[in-house]
Structure 1
Amino acid sequence: MAVALENAVGTEHAVRLEGLHKVFGAGRQAVTALDGIDLAVRPGEFVCLVGASGCGKTTLLNLIAGLEQPTSGRITLTTSRPAVMFQEHALMPWLTVNRNIELPLRLAGVGRAERAARVTELLSLVRLEGTGRKRPHELSGGMRQRVALARSLASAIQGSADGKHALMLMDEPFSALDAITRDLLQAELLRVWRATGTAVVFVTHDVREAVRLGQRVVLLSSRPGRVVDEWDVNGLTGADELVAVDTIGAKLREVISTHAAA
């Protein structure tokens, strides 16, 4: 199957994956990471990917972001440049907060006045007003991740063809934080997501986090990664949320144990 990377503004999805395969290496050394992934994410939708370590979740994000090329299959995007947010904040330590956030805008050729206005808006959005002249080492871990979030939003919105159908890819961005900071940033992410309407594909090992954040949870099998099941978890609270966590957790354990026994 030929590889096709397309921009398709006006479609009903932010990203669509069709028959996506990824093989690393060749011959006897070949390793199939993903095997026939079909997945669509609507504009503004928050989708969480869960699965065992090594199941291809990060590879899937890298393919959507264009950091890797699929072996076969089709990736259709409504944005020319999805933004990626990793576990590590990856801020430039020699740049101020303002300069870190505006970096993708500068690379895209956005003028100075517009960059400054966007940075001010984004700092307000992530509740970091007054920190623009600080450098990353002067901030807490949670604040640095907020700066990374603001930078990713700048990149996602700038990369969207119409400024509205933005896509952000998040690879366990809160896993290195302490539990209290993680809870706070999960709430902040939901607030920012609702305010911006950005589509999000969020990778996590934590089923509870996936159910809390996502509108939909997609489970990948152990390697090679395939879509095993998915659940609509939008708006669940209280007992319903706990039931969803238990159901998805049990299915994840089943997938892991089946792979281990094979």
Structure 2
Amino acid sequence: MTATLEHVQSGTAVSLSGVSKVFGQGRGAVVALDGVDLKVAPGEFVCLLGASGCGKTTLLNLVAGLDAPTGGEIELNTSRPAVMFQEAALMPWLTAARNIELPLRLAGFGKADRQAKVAELLDLVRLSGAGHKRPHELSGGMRQRVALARSLAATQRVRGSDAPALLLMDEPFAALDAITRDVLQGELLRVYERTSTAVLFVTHDVREAVRLGQRVVLLSSRPGRVVQEWSTQDSGSEGLVEQITARLREVISTHAKS
């Protein structure tokens, strides 16, 4: 089952034009990204797929503003992007509710608004009864749900900003066991369908990309370039998984021979 296209809006949430990123200088320089063109519409769920080391996380960091591109342009038409990593990275001394509340406090929400939004987000990720627990009292899957709620909280802005939200997700389920990962993929789709948040989701798992994304974008091996993209509405999921897997193998094989 793939996400529907029903709440994709017109316009662009984020646009990358000819984006490149080089680490280091001279002979030791490493070209991580080279001429990447990519657009994500408001409310669209895009999965960025590629082999390890192809620059997926680097691209996410550039969009998040954690690093600057060497060349090209990145245009954001959203509120400040929120980022969810592979590790939940929760504050261990804070309860689940307090972890979710933190970005709301930093954004300037008043106490009553913070409490209401935390309760809403806990309910959204199905952790209404766990807000008082600290991270060490939660399972790995529950911690990632808290991290998801905190990321959604980070997209909120005071005074009713009309800017669309953007959530950047860097292989958030990779460290989980297969059953928990499957459950959280379903939960993410449920949460996504209840929000208008655009999502740029990094993964190396073809099945995960096809299940979650409305669009799958494949990066080449280093330096990362967009080599192909697919709509998940084009064909049945199994056929699409096979098609993308074959293309990914071709990209990796070409890189290995070069």
TM-score, normalised with respect to structure 2: 0.93
- Residue by residue, what CA displacement relative to the aligned partner does 1:199-234 show, whole Å, maximum 9, x if unpaired? 000011100000000000000000000000000003
Distance 2:107 2:126 in 1: 25
Counterpart-to-counterpart distance in 1, 2:218 and 2:159? 27
Q: Per-residue deviation at 1:163?
A: 4.8
> Take 2:120 and 2:220, find their aligned partners in 1: how far apart are those partners?
40
The 8 Å contact of residues 93 and 135 in structure 1, kept in 2 or not, is answered as yes
| Aligned residues of 1:82 and 1:159 also touching (Cα < 8 A) | no
Paired residue type of 2:74: I
Deviation at 1:190, TM superposition (A): 0.2
Q: Unaligned stretches of 5+ in structure 2?
A: 1-8
1:74-107 deviation line (CA, Å, top 9, x unaligned): 1111123100000000000000111100111111
CA contact (8 A) 1:214 1:234 kept: no
SS at match of 1:157: coil
Please state whether the residue corresponding to 2:80 is helix, strand or coil.
coil
**Structure 1: distance between partners of 2:84 and 2:50:** 19
User: How does the TM-score come out when normalised to structure 1?
Assistant: 0.92
Query: Percent identity, aligned pairs only?
Result: 71
1:109–1:157 Cα change, 3 Å: closer
Q: Is the 8 A contact 1:49 1:204 kept in 2?
A: yes
Q: Which residue of 2 aligns with 1:4?
A: none
What are the within-5 Å matches in structure 2 for residues 62-81 of structure 1? 62-81=61-80
The number of equivalent residue pairs is 250
Segments of 4+ moved more than 2 angstroms: 157-164
Amino acid at match of 1:197: S
**1:33 corresponds to which residue?**
32
Work out the CA distance in 2 between the residues paired with 1:97 and 1:235.
40
Query: Structure 1 residues 106 and 204, CA, compared in 2 at 3 Å: closer, same or farther?
Result: same
**Residue ranges of structure 1 left out of the alignment (5+ in a row):** 1-9
Q: Which residue number in structure 2 is paired with residue 168 of structure 1?
A: 167
Paired with 1:163 and 1:184, the residues of 2 have a C-alpha distance of 32
Structure 1 residues 159 and 252, CA, compared in 2 at 3 Å: closer, same or farther? farther
Q: What is the aligned partner in structure 1 of residue 83 from structure 2?
A: 84
Distance in 2 between the 1:258 and 1:35 partners?
17
**CA-atom RMSD in angstroms:** 1.7
